[in-house]
Amino acid sequence: MISVFAIFVLVAGTGIQHAVAATQDTSIPPKAILVTGASSGLGRMIVEALAAKGHRVYAGARKQADLDSLNAIDNIEAVRLDVTIQSEIDAAVELITKQGSLHAIVNNAGVGMMGPLIELEEKDLDFVLGVNVYGPFRITKAFAPLLIESKGRVVNIGSISGWQSRAFYGAYSMSKHAVEAYTDALAIELDKFDVKVSVIDPGGFRSNIGENIHKRLIEEGMHFEDSLYKKELQGNWALSGGDLSTFKDPEDVVAKVEHALFADNPERRYMVVNEADLAEQTMRAIIEHMVELNHDQPSSYDRDGLIKLLDEELAKKNESPGN
């Protein structure tokens, strides 16, 4: 099988730079928070927003230039942190433990991958799962004692791609679907210790992910002559430049991260999309799965039964604290 389609892009880094006004929110006492994948894009926006409000932010990054840039920002301490390297995770735990408590971690670091599933090599799948799934697992496990002590928070950055898959992005969707299951199980387990767990599912915001894929193709001299999907790939948006410059910046995503970090009763899930069509597509994908599961099985529900289930869940949500 060919591996020319294994194209990796740091999704956590959208390449967007923002200036954040230093306006401390005095209603929330300063908290210590670790954010992985903080070098650019959404991660950078999260750490800048938190630091501007007076929180002590540990910003995880891999490259020295990014570490230096982050360290130049008030209230931010850059931490060399590759979520695939256990020794760096252990060093970060030691550093933060010595300096005091930790309120929360934001598992933001992630990578993207594009290519036909039957033409990817196993090492390519290992790479995306190693960052997007094992990364949050490693980080949360390592910092769990501090979070239990502070009765803190875990915020995972998922994606609407965890609910809806499309051709050539299956590996990425697999990883983000795993983040959803991880969030649910972790939330149940950590409830015993009053640690709250949330997942943010963004979609359709400005990013340079497509441009990075396109650039990688050119730099590596990749081609599609041997692919079984040559015709279909020729029209792929990422391969034609992947321009997302007209999309909205992800400030709304940052706002939901802050709610998950500080609200008395944070949501388990936050879907944040920049247009109604993306929300509808995601909800339809979930409904489609429900219909498929329900169809032609011994305990199938009719329409009235499904509506009753939906009404019951809506009622529980409306009655939950904070609604």
Residues recognised as catalytic:
172
The CA dihedral of 281, 282, 288, 290, to the nearest 10 degrees, is: -160
Q: Two tokens at 136?
A: 């949050």
> Minimal CA–CA distance to 137: which of 212, 49, 36?
36
Q: Two tokens at 226?
A: 């041997």
